[in-house]
Structure 1
């Protein structure tokens, strides 16, 4: 299973990535790293440094068929959205549309969009529910509201299943101080660094604070369900800013608390109802605010010191480099001028004949640095030329009438401008070409990375197939064992294949009775030796009723001892014909990956079972003696052979009974016997005047009870073969 998380290196995105990774997903991340940090995600994954509106995103979708896309990338600062609404729109609207379009184009199963409580605007009704009026007061809130409309419309137009979560104030580890939810992290930073805490207004304004891991849990659970639409994601609990500070005082000494003027447009009270998500997803937040703040404070305390040192070092280094880079051209220009002045003033220029040293200096500086430094070189050269003239005894007034003097100045200015402009133009062309080369190199590197990744996956799969006997055995089992048209052999092959693929101890197959009230055990493999029920009454087991109703895989998340760990329905002709149940699975395999693997395996079994049942229907006249439910010798012996093989491989018991027809006809005898048998038992005729019966899943201790039942109906039988 593959999931793409946009903004996956950010605060919320990194926690969502962690959750999907723990559930066995392959995680892919798109992030422009403007606010995200790569060190937030420490496990093995594939990351792309891109903006979500970048056309190169299509290469990622084309190369990886994602099961879910979690769109968290956004410009999250309300203040920035007000000062630069265009940038906000590019990221929050154009980026979303690009992700939606690519998700629809490349058949993504679920698209989850991170919206915000900002869509409600100034609304005094509490708690706010999803159907309340939306009236956002900032470009950020508008872009989120528009994003919800896009998601809903994509679901209507293109059948892309979308979920929009309106987050309340999310807080937790890795949070920065940008955006509406940064109040917790701002307070944490200031308290740990022994700085005063500033509260806008009286501090009685309330917010609905939700811990980030609860958000990640809801997003993950929504990704594999049929949930769609708009939902609040919150705790449905009001918490004042003052009470927030009170909890922090218990965790660490607060130096000072100052109340400042209330900010314009600040909402006084805010709470989101979470009833809809609780009812439809069966989700509730696990962490209350006190517990969440403790966990957040512990993380900030352990990370604040090294984070400050790293930021300070980077800022200092960057500042020094910028300063040195900016003054370097001026320093080198002045150094060259000093050399020029020394040559001119020390009479060294006469040694060079007709060479004008100042002109040479202007030309060289212009070629190296372009227009700005060449003009400075012209000014310095004119000053030097003037100083030299005055030093030679010329008067300022006389120079004003000296045409040679002005001609020389004009030459300096002309050469400086021409050389500087030409070099500047050449540098501009070169920079444009270099930028184009960089873009092409980045695209090549990006495509090469995608190609390399695809090659690695292909090589890994090929390696597993060629070198892993277990993988080859599984593939062989699926393609070969399930090819039989004999129903009993299909049942036996199924338990073998499921056991091999899922790596479990016990696999059981139950068929549904014609009246759909009982489940009969038809095959099982039981390495653990635990007792396996031979018959299940549907009304006694809620999980069976649920599977019959919704047709989905059952996962025993509550670890109910009266239900299997997993069970999946098997279909024939559009209706549920059987169930496969598994037990004895290690806890590390109790994940979504193995749920999906179980479902894929059941689809293969359903196909094989349908073929076998269709074959039985087509060959019924040849398998049964006409007018009876008695199998002909060849058909009966084939089933008996399957029972013997099942007993040999999995110790699956059966009883073989034999009786004499006496004065009754075969039809009369079979009707009497059939009325006392189960759907999984068989009647056959292998000798003249005799009838044999196979009792499936019946052990030696069952023999006396079965024989006494036959005796009550004046049918005499004896055990020929079984567990005796």
Structure 2
């Protein structure tokens, strides 16, 4: 299964990515790396350096059919530029919502915030509380919730919104309200004082980041939708935070300053709804959460200091920028000095017809464009006038000399024409370069997408060839289920489930028509003597849940009295049997294997449907006319499947026959009918004698069974020939 996490390199996003990866998902990330860091995600994944509002996101959705989208990308500071909030938090969300709806994403999870409540003091705040955000960030999140709800209403996209309280934990930066903990951690590790706005008695609902990731993962496969608070429902003051941190590291001192305008004094979110409906609860209290957070900050403190020092701009870099800005003026001035020297010395006497100033203007214009060429024109005009004055001309007379104006006009014309031509040429070159860069960037992006698609295709091919739980292998294994005899299907199911799920123990129980009783009809060798042969449903809550919900049961509590997993087997819309498994490796106790078990049980249900349909269609050929007694061909087929089950899985059975040879058809309705179970059979053997086949009944039960039949006036004995397979 595939999950896309926007903002996946960020503080919360990287923990969410970790959780999905541990559950066997293929993780994809879109992040513009404004605040996220690539080093936050260390496992194998697909990452795209893009903004969520970028149109290229569509190509990512098109190339990968995502099952779940977790939208965490946002501008997260409470006090910031409203326009930036709208671009990232609203336009970006709408883009991802559109693409999720277009490409049929199964679940969309949106990260909202407690900031939507504003200054509401009716604590603890429930989801029904009035929303009155006081910051652009809170407004954008409130609008985002509305978009999610409308997309579900209008387009059927399954959306869920979490209003986070103050999240803290490893990898957190020092921004946002939850960042107070990371700020404190950095300052105490740097042996600096702590600064508190207000008296420190203001409270917040701090929640550890791994609890947030757990809730998001649970929501991704649930059928829930709507808006949920995600919090601990516990208020914690800033002073209490400082006290707890002080127990981990000495605090140099605390300075209390004036409260910031707009700061909320108390904030606590009611989490009753998410706990009840999602079956989620926070695992980490504030003490344990701070301890884990401190451990991470302590480990990373040296790296953070190094990163902070590298952020400071060095003086040589600033000097280099200054030099780049003013160097053209310096070079222009040097060229003018050279021109003036050549024009005023005797060197030019032999070349009096050549005006060096025109060369100077032309060269500067070609090198630097119109700005420097105009400056060169001004300097050249000044030099020209100065030369005329040196020749004895009066300045006033120059104003009436048409030759002077003509020469100045030539300077201006050359300067403007050359400067404009060069500027236009440079603009064309720059535009072409930008177009080239954009095309190269798009080519690189599309080429990268192509390579990723090829990699995925190659990886899927390898899985089909090599993976023990690939569709290719599943298809090969489930070929065993291709039988039209239910008993054979049940016995084959044991092998199929053991092979696909790689478990030690498998058992199959049939369910009576009233859903009150279960009988074991097949099991693996490991279950021999361990599992009950029959069960009362009302004594096993796990079985009750499966029959009620019709879904796979997972023993999350690791209750020793219940199997690790139970899956129902359906026929005609009713649960006909259940499969139980035990002995699974701990690392396989995940949603992936839960889904795999569900797929396997559905394959078994499909096989049984075919088998039962065949039996119903051939009922007249299987039974002696007017009786429930199997003809010898049908009985022989069932008996052979029992022999194979005994050989492969040590599943016992007994074949009984009348001791005096007097058992007839009429005896079935009068004496036997009420004594047989749903899993037992009566039929004709090769000698056309009526015999009884008791499933899952061993020789240790033989005495009790024979006495029970004898009490009804039916003296029976065990057919020895069938026991030669023991």
Do both share a fold (TM > 0.5)? Answer: yes
| Change in 2 beyond 3 A, CA 1:110/1:465 | closer
Corresponding residue for residue 462 of structure 1: 461
Q: Residue 303 in 1 paired to residue 300 in 2? A: yes
Pairing of 1:283-682 with structure 2 (within 5 A): 283-316=280-313, 320-321=316-317, 324-325=320-321, 327-328=323-324, 330-335=326-331, 337-339=333-335, 341-342=337-338, 344-345=340-341, 347=345, 356-382=355-381, 404-466=403-465, 474-478=473-477, 480-527=479-526, 531-659=530-658, 662-669=661-668, 672-682=671-681
Cα gap change, 1:410/1:222 in structure 2, threshold over 3 Å: closer, same or farther?
A: same
- Does residue 1:20 correspond to 2:20, yes or no? yes
Deviation at 1:3, TM superposition (A): 0.8
Moved more, 353-362 or 576-585: 353-362
Check conservation: 2:9, 2:31, Cα contact below 8 A: yes
CA drift of 1:380 comes to 5.0
CA distance, structure 1, for counterparts of residue 499 and residue 680 of structure 2: 27
Structure 2 partner of 1:697? 696
* C-alpha contact 2:75 2:88 (8 A) present in aligned 1: yes
Alpha-carbon distance in 1 for matches of 2:614, 2:702: 32
**CA positional deviation for 1:54:** 1.6
Change (3 A) 1:470 1:28: closer
SS of structure 2 residue aligned to 1:639: helix
Q: Deviations over 1:441-484 (max 9, x none)?
A: 22222222222222112112223434668858734435522222
Q: How many angstroms apart in 1 are the aligned matches of 2:606 and 2:708?
A: 38
2:212 to 205, 212, 215: 215
The question of whether the paired residues in 2 share the 8 Å contact of 1:518 and 1:537 is answered with yes
Q: 2:271 aligns with which of 267, 274, 277?
A: 274
Q: Deviations over 1:247-269 (max 9, x none)?
A: 33333333343322222211111
The verdict on how the C-alpha distance between 1:249 and 1:574 changes in structure 2, with shifts beyond 3 A counting, is same
Is 1:105 aligned with 2:99?
no
The superposition leaves residues 234-290 of structure 1 with CA deviations (integer Å, 9 ceiling, x where unpaired) of 111222222222333333333343322222211111111111111212222122222
The CA deviation string for residues 156-190 of structure 1, in whole angstroms up to 9 with x for no partner, is 22222221111111111111122232222222233
1:91 is displaced (CA, Å) by 1.4
SS of the aligned residue for 2:691 comes to strand
| TM-score (normalizing by structure 1) | 0.93
Residues 598, 663 of structure 1: alpha-carbon distance in 2 compared, 3 angstrom cutoff: closer
* Structure 1 residue 710: Cα displacement: 1.5
Contact 2:494–2:524 (8 Å) recurs in 1: yes
**Number of equivalences:** 720
1:560-592: CA deviation from partner (whole Å, max 9, x where unpaired): 111111111111111211111111111111111
| Contact in 2 for aligned 1:329/1:369 (Cα 8 Å) | no
Matched residues in 2 for 1:33 and 1:422: separation?
41
Following the alignment from structure 2 to structure 1, what is the Cα–Cα distance between the partners of residues 491 and 410? 100
Measure, in 2, the Cα distance between the counterparts of 1:627 and 1:230. 62
Q: Give the corresponding residue for 1:136.
A: 133
Q: Matches of 1:407 and 1:477 in 2, distance apart?
A: 96
Q: In structure 2, what is the equivalent of residue 49 of structure 1?
A: 49
> Which shows bigger deviation, 642-651 or 465-474?
465-474
> Per the alignment, do residues 374 and 547 of structure 1 end up closer, same or farther by CA in structure 2, a change over 3 Å counting?
farther
Within the candidate set 140, 146, 149, 1:149 is matched to 146
Counterpart in the other structure of 2:7: 7
Specify whether residues 452 and 667 from structure 1 end up closer, same or farther in structure 2 by C-alpha distance, changes over 3 A only. Answer: farther
Contact 2:660 2:715 (C-alpha < 8 Å) held by counterparts? no
Judging changes above 3 Å, is the alpha-carbon distance between structure 1 residues 420 and 646 closer, same or farther for their aligned structure 2 residues? farther
- Describe the shift of the 1:423–1:120 C-alpha distance in structure 2 as closer, same or farther (beyond 3 A): same
Q: CA deviation at 1:199?
A: 1.9
> CA distance change for structure 1 residues 395 and 511 in 2, over 3 Å: closer, same or farther?
farther
Residue 643 of structure 1: SS of its match in structure 2? helix
Give CA-to-partner distance per residue, 1:217-240, whole Å, 9 cap, x none: 111111112222211111112222
2:332 and 2:376 in contact (8 A); partners too: no
**3-state SS of paired residue (1:520):** strand
Displacement after TM superposition at 1:412 (Å): 3.6
Give the Å deviation of 1:697.
1.7
**Partner residue in 2 for 1:206:** 203
Name the CA distance, whole Å, in 2 between partners of 1:697 and 1:380. Answer: 111
* 1:644-665 deviation per Cα after TM superposition (whole angstroms, max 9, x unaligned): 2222222222222232674453
What does residue 40 of structure 2 align with?
A: 40
Residue 59 of structure 2 is aligned to residue 59 of structure 1: yes
| 8 Å CA contact 1:167, 1:232 repeated in 2 | yes
User: What CA distance in whole angstroms lies between the structure 1 residues aligned with 2:467 and 2:412?
Assistant: 78
1:160 aligned to 157, 161, 165, which one?
A: 157
* CA–CA distance in structure 2, aligned partners of residues 550 and 92 of structure 1: 39
Q: Which runs of 5+ in 2 are unaligned?
A: none
Closer/same/farther in 2, CA of residues 110 and 358 from structure 1, 3 Å limit: same
Q: Is the 8 A contact 1:474 1:500 kept in 2?
A: no
Q: Name the SS for the 2:609 alignment partner.
A: helix
Q: How high is the TM-score relative to the length of structure 2?
A: 0.93
Q: Any conservation in 2 of the 1:466–1:472 contact (CA below 8 Å)?
A: no
Instruction: Give the match for residue 182 of structure 2.
Output: 185
Cα deviations by residue, 1:103-146 (Å, 9 ceiling, x for unpaired): 22222221111111111111111111111111111221111111
Deviating more after overlay: 404-413 vs 141-150: 404-413
Q: Does the residue aligned with 1:181 lie in a helix, a strand or coil?
A: helix
Contact 2:469/2:500 (<8 A) preserved: no
Specify the SS of the correspondent of 1:667.
helix
Summarize the Cα distance change of 1:537–1:54 in structure 2 as closer, same or farther, 3 Å threshold: same
1: CA distance, partners of 2:523 / 2:114: 53
Counterparts of 1:658 and 1:365, CA distance in 2:
118
Change (3 A) 1:665 1:132: same
Are the equivalent residues in 1 in contact too, given 2:538–2:544 (CA < 8 A)?
Answer: yes
The correspondence for 1:122, drawn from 96, 103, 119, is 119
For residues 645-696 of structure 1, give each alpha carbon's deviation from its aligned partner in whole angstroms, at most 9, with x where no partner exists. Answer: 2222222222222326744532324653342121111111024562222222
Task: Give the match's secondary structure for 1:251.
Answer: coil
Instruction: Sort the Cα spacing of 1:174 and 1:377 in 2 relative to 1 into closer, same or farther, 3 A.
Output: farther
CA distance in 1 between counterparts of 2:463 and 2:502 reads 17
Q: CA deviation at 1:20?
A: 0.9
**Which moves more between the two structures, 678-687 or 19-28?**
678-687
